[in-house]
Chains A and B, each alone.
Chain A
Amino acid sequence: NAGVTQTPKFQVLKTGQSMTLQCAQDMNHNSMYWYRQDPGMGLRLIYYSASEGTTDKGEVPNGYNVSRLNKREFSLRLESAAPSQTSVYFCASSVGLAGALGTQYFGPGTRLLVL
């Protein structure tokens, strides 16, 4: 039981390049989330998926797209990376939206550097 897995762990991009961050969970959770973590700002929600087949914008969706490929997988795409997207990205999942009483399970994160 791996929980929430993310790939890659670390990535360096040049401005304008594109990439997809992958996330998968094996807990049969309905809801999945993408956050970014920046110093002094905590975690901010980029996109979320309440259930398979649905996605919605969070607080900071600009510059990102997502795909809920199936119940297990939720990917985050940067179409044209910008230095402002340098951050640590976390995927999370929960039984239902915002989790059973708020419990979300997080992956180990992807550290992205955009030059």
Chain B
Amino acid sequence: GDSVTQMEGPVTLSEEAFLTINCTYTATGYPSLFWYVQYPGEGLQLLLKATKADDKGSNKGFEATYRKETTSFHLEKGSVQVSDSAVYFCALRDDYKLSFGAGTTVTVRA
């Protein structure tokens, strides 16, 4: 079945640093792609999404572009804050369900 692979963490950054989390996918077609975020002690929430090739999803300063040629959907933020400390999950829509990556823990130090 379709699946996603995302870079392993943990990732530790200083405030205002640039963040990139790599995500690649394997799929027979062109699935919708997502980034979900899980803040400490909470459930997951949708951060951004893209439904077709070359779409760029963006939210809260985060961006990700659906790259068909490289089967990737990397998450980026230009200047992270302490409040961005969380676990980030890449996911794709596989028929009736979402398939999630393993998650990347990001810690931002003041």
Contact = CB atoms under 8 A, between A and B. Distances in A.
Q: Bound pair: A and B?
A: yes
A41 interface: yes
Contacts, number: 56
Most central of B45, B49, B97, B103 by chain A CB within 10 Å: B97
A40 B102 contact: yes
A4 B103 CA distance: 22
A58 interface: yes
Contacts of B101: 42
Given A4-B43, A106-B44, A108-B42, A98 B98 contact: yes
Interface string A44-69: 11001010000000100000000000
Given A4-B43, A108-B41, A103 B97 contact: no
Contacts of B32: 101-102
Interface residues of B, number: 21
B49 A101 contact: yes
A12 interface: no
A108 B51 CA distance: 27
Q: 3 smallest A-B Cβ distances: which pairs?
A: A106-B43, A42-B100, A102-B93
Interface in A67-110: 90, 92, 97-99, 101-109
Interface of B: 32, 34, 41-46, 49, 51, 89, 91, 93, 95-98, 100-103
A19 interface: no
A102 B96 contact: no
Given A48-B96, A102-B93, A43 B44 contact: yes
A45 B1 CA distance: 14
A50 B41 CA distance: 27
A105 B100 CA distance: 14
26 contacts: A33-B97, A41-B102, A42-B89, A42-B102, A42-B103, A43-B44, A44-B100, A45-B97, A48-B97, A90-B43, A92-B43, A92-B44, A97-B96, A98-B95, A101-B49, A101-B51, A101-B93, A102-B91, A102-B93, A102-B98, A104-B46, A104-B98, A106-B44, A108-B41, A108-B42, A109-B43
